[in-house]
Amino acid sequence: MSVNKEIKRITTNTIQEMKVRGEKISMLTAYDYSMATIVDEAGTDIILVGDSASNVMAGHETTLPITLDQMIYHASSVVRAAKRALVVVDLPFGSYQGNSKEALNSAIRIMKEAGAHAVKIEGGVEIAESVSRILTAGIPVMGHLGLTPQSIYKFGTYTVRAKHEAEAQKLREDAVKLQELGCFGVVLEKIPAKLAQEVTANLQIPTIGIGAGQHCDGQVLVIHDMLGINKGFKPRFLRQYSNLYDVMHDAIKNYNTDVKSNSFPNEKEQY
51 is in an annotated binding site: yes
CA distance 156 to 151: 9
187 binds ligand KIV (CB under 6 A): yes
In order, the DSSP letters of 35-96 are HHHHHHHTT-SEEEE-TTHHHHTT--SSSTT--HHHHHHHHHHHHHH-SSSEEEEEPPTTSS
Contact 105/119 with Cβ under 8 angstroms?
no
**Cβ-based nearer residue to ligand KIV, 141 or 249:** 141
Minimum CB distance to ligand KIV, residue 225 (Å): 9
150 binds ligand KIV (CB under 6 A): no
69 is in an annotated binding site: no
**Cβ-based nearer residue to ligand KIV, 155 or 255:** 155
90 is in an annotated binding site: yes
Residue from the set 222, 226, 229, 244 that interacts with ligand KIV by CB under 6 A? 222
- Based on the residue annotation, tell me whether 189 is a catalytic residue of this protein: yes
178 binds ligand KIV (CB under 6 A): no
Minimum CB distance to ligand KIV, residue 29 (Å): 5
52 binds ligand KIV (CB under 6 A): yes
In order, the DSSP letters of 117-175 are SEEEEEBSGGGHHHHHHHHHTT--EEEEEES-GGGHHHH-S-SPP--SHHHHHHHHHHH
CA distance 152 to 146: 11
Q: Which 10-29 residues touch ligand KIV, going by CB under 6 A?
A: 29
The total of other beta-carbon atoms located within 10 Å of residue 236's CB is 7
Residue nearest to ligand KIV (CB): 50
Contacts of 27 (CB under 8 A, 6+ apart): 44, 45, 46, 47, 48, 88, 208, 218, 219, 220
CA distance 246 to 115: 35
Minimum CB distance to ligand KIV, residue 156 (Å): 19
Minimum CB distance to ligand KIV, residue 35 (Å): 13
68 binds ligand KIV (CB under 6 A): no
Contact 78/87 with Cβ under 8 angstroms?
yes
**Cβ-based nearer residue to ligand KIV, 155 or 264:** 155
229 binds ligand KIV (CB under 6 A): no
The DSSP bridge pattern shows strands 207-210 and 185-189 to be: parallel
Residue from the set 220, 227, 229, 244 that interacts with ligand KIV by CB under 6 A? 220
CA distance 228 to 16: 31
Residues within the annotated binding site for Mg(2+)? Answer: 51, 90, 122
Question: Could you list the active site residues?
Answer: 189
The site for ligand KIV (CB under 6 A) is made up of 29, 48, 50-52, 90, 187, 189, 210, 220, 222
Residues within the annotated binding site? Answer: 51-52, 90, 120, 122
